[in-house]
Amino acid sequence: MNLSPQWVSALTQHGFHAVHWSEVGDIRAKDTTIMEWARNHKFILFTHDLDFGVILALTRSTGPSVLQIRTQDPCQAGLNA
């Protein structure tokens, strides 16, 4: 939820199957719920939120993979993709 839905079109234009969480789940869902959905549906989490990597490490889970974008303006980065 912390990245713009515009990332979906940027990723799909480059051949990736992408969905924004707001299209598939409750926008108030806990991070663990989002991770479980991603794992069950074989998605990678693309996020600006540091929590997902921490949860993955602390649970010693094998998935889902977490790809963190680190930039001052993640919305601007998505538009330039």
Cβ–Cβ under 8 Å, residues 47 and 3:
yes
The model's pLDDT over 19-63, given as tens digits with 9 standing for 90+, comes to 999 999 999 999 999 999 999 999 999 998 889 999 999 999 989
Asked whether the whole model's pTM tops 0.85, one would answer no
Q: Of 13, 7, 81, which Cα lies nearest the Cα of 46?
A: 7
For tokens 């990723």, the residue is: 11
